[in-house]
Each structure stands twice: as structure tokens, then as C-alpha cells.
Amino acid sequence: MKNIMANQSLKDLLKYKLVWVIIFLIITNLVAIFFIFRINSQPSSENFYSFLNPARKYFHQEDAIVDIQPLRDELNKLGINPNISIYFEYLNTGANISVNKDAEFFPASLLKLPVALAAVKKIQDGQWQWNNELVLMRSDKDEGFGDLYKQEIGTRLTIEQLVTLSLVKSDNTAYRILLRNIDPAEVERVQRGLGIEELFFDDGDISAKRYSVIFRSLYNSSFLSEVNSQKILSIMAQVGFTDYLASGLPKNTLFSHKIGASSEKGVYLDSGIVYLKNRPYLLTVMMRTSDEAEAREIMKRTSSAIYDYISNYSIKE
């Protein structure tokens, strides 16, 4: 009898505990559902700011510079000279300045960049590889700029070597080897893709603002893939030329750019991206003059003024 009563008591106790366990689980689930509902009912930052540029989250508010009027006033002083064209663009916000935006110039060695892009596009499409080799022919040799012309006929160089020499050393011979092996239609595809059809017209002239499209496309990876855009920009960051725009920057400033010059045409050009920490900007300066020293000085002054303004800018309360 005692055993029967003990068993009954044990069963009652287990039922009692089971009831409380079930009640506890129900309450826990209800609380969880409540909080999930509250969280989901609150708009996420992405949904709440759906009308805003999603890129804003990648830089701090103090680096969202839009007030560039003082800089514009300073650069416009150079606009008195119609033989100078300047294009500046602050890449975080797109704020920009154009000085003599319609003035056009013979691009000289700036032509080497779109040809290099055509070569890289062939790699991206699987037609070439970076380590494929091209042969130096007699017709490729050009003593105008670079040292590759000193190599023997029949010398083999990889696509990567040729692109690097063309962009970093501005080697004319490397450029001619690439151009000879690229179909004109492939160069036209670069022109159409970037909207720079005028670059290879008979007169070949282009404005600073139009040429800047090439660097913007690389920065945004809008024409080449991310991998190849990064590669080209990193190659151009190796340019050791310290005159022109580079002379107005502090030492060791990362500057990915391409220079061009023709004493015969009297043009001096420099275009690229200055990677000021958290505040990158695009700058292209073109000048027509018979005095290269004058071009160097104006480019230095322009570059220095822009760097100082952007690096020292602070939001006024």
C-alpha cells in the first residue's frame, strides 16, 4: 500500500514539474517572438536610408567634402590663361572643379593608357594571359622615350612587362609592340566603353575633363574587373617621375598617374588619382606652352594648392 502511494506521489510530482516546464517554454517562446517582432518592425539602417548613397558608410562624415568654392576660386585664377585646362574631382562626394573645360590638347603619351586597357581587356576576356610573350620587331623601335629600343630584334617580352614599361617608363617601343598586336576594333571598344571616341581622331585632341573619365572608370572598376583595375592602378603608382603634379605632393604620397609631354607640340600633361588617406581625389592638368619650366611650376602650384586644401579641410560647425 505504501509503495502504491509513493508511486502515485512521484507521478504527481513529475506531472507538476512537467507542467511548469511547459509553462516556462511557452513564456520563453513568447518573449523571443516579441523581441523578434520588435526588431523586425524597426527599419534597418539600409532600409531607413534607402534614398541615400550606400557608399557613404565607407567614409566618415568629416571626409564628405562638398565645400570646394574657395579652392575653385583659387584655381580659376589660372583660367585667365586659355592654354591651361584643369579638372579636379573629390572622389568621396563627386564635388568637382573644371577650369577651361572645353580646351583640348594633343594627348602625347597619355594615349598609352587606353591602349594598355585594350590589352588588359583581352586578358580579361581570356584571349591573352599576363605571361604571354610578344616579339620586338624592327618596326617597333622608337627612340623617343624609354630604353626598350636598345634591345635586339626578336627579344620576347611578356604582356605584363610591356604594359608596365608603357605606363611606368612611358616606353614608346613597348607601346608600339602592344598596339601592333591589338586589333583597332579592340581599341575602339575602349573608346566606346569609356566615351572617349575623340581620343584617337585625326587631331587626337582631348580635354582634361574628358580624359579624367579613364581614371574614374578604373577607380570605380566600371570598365575592367576589380582585379584588373586594381592591377593597372597599382602599376601606375610605381611611376617614379617626380616633376609635374607629383612635385606638389608630400614625399611618399601615393599617386597613381600617367604623364605626357611633347616639346614638338608644346604640350605637358599629367593625370591621375592622389590617394590622400580617406580623401582620394582625381586631378588632370594639361598645358600648352613653349616653356616646360613654366608648365612644371604651374603644375606644382596647382597640385600643392589642392593637396593643402583637401588635407586641411574641416567641417565648420
Q: Mean per-residue pLDDT for 172-180?
A: 97
- At 62-82, the pLDDT tens digits run 888 888 999 999 999 988 899
* Amino acid code (one letter) for 87: Y
Dist. CA 198–CA 184, nearest whole Å: 14
DSSP string covering 194-250 = HT-GGGGSSS--B-HHHHHHHHHHHHHTSSS-HHHHHHHHHHHTT----SGGGGGS-
CA 180 to CA 155: how far, in whole Å? 15
Asked if 306 and 313 touch (Cβ cutoff 8 Å), the reply is no
Percent of the chain with pLDDT over 70: 80
φ and ψ at residue 185, rounded to 5 degrees: -65, -30
Q: Please report which helix (H) or strand (E) contains residue 99, including its range.
A: strand 96-99
| pLDDT of 278 above 50 | yes
| Per-residue pLDDT at 6 exceeds 60 | no
Task: Specify the pLDDT at position 174.
Answer: 98
What is the pTM assigned to this prediction? Answer: 0.82
User: In this structure, what are the phi and psi dihedrals at residue 83, rounded to the nearest 5 degrees?
Assistant: -90, 15
Question: What pLDDT, on the 0 to 100 scale, is given for residue 164?
Answer: 97
**Three-state secondary-structure class, residue 53:** coil
- Rounded to an integer, the average pLDDT of 101-112 is 93
Q: Which amino acid is at 188?
A: E
Average pLDDT, the chain: 87
99: Cβ–Cβ under 8 A, 6 or more apart, which residues? Answer: 75, 76, 78, 79, 84, 85, 86, 87
Q: What pLDDT digit, counting tens, does each position of 184-198 carry?
A: 999 999 988 888 876
- What's the pLDDT tens digit per position in 284-300? 999 999 999 999 999 99
Amino acid at 266: G
All 3 cell numbers of residue 264? 614638338
Residue that is written with C-alpha cell 566600371 in the block: 222
Cell numbers linked to 199: 581620343
- Mean pLDDT over residues 198-222, rounded? 84
Residue 142 burial (CB count, 10 A) = 16
- Where exactly are the structural domains of the chain? 2-42, 61-312
200: cell is 584617337
For the 61-312 domain, the top CATH level (class) is alpha beta
Quick check: 2 pLDDT over 50? Answer: no
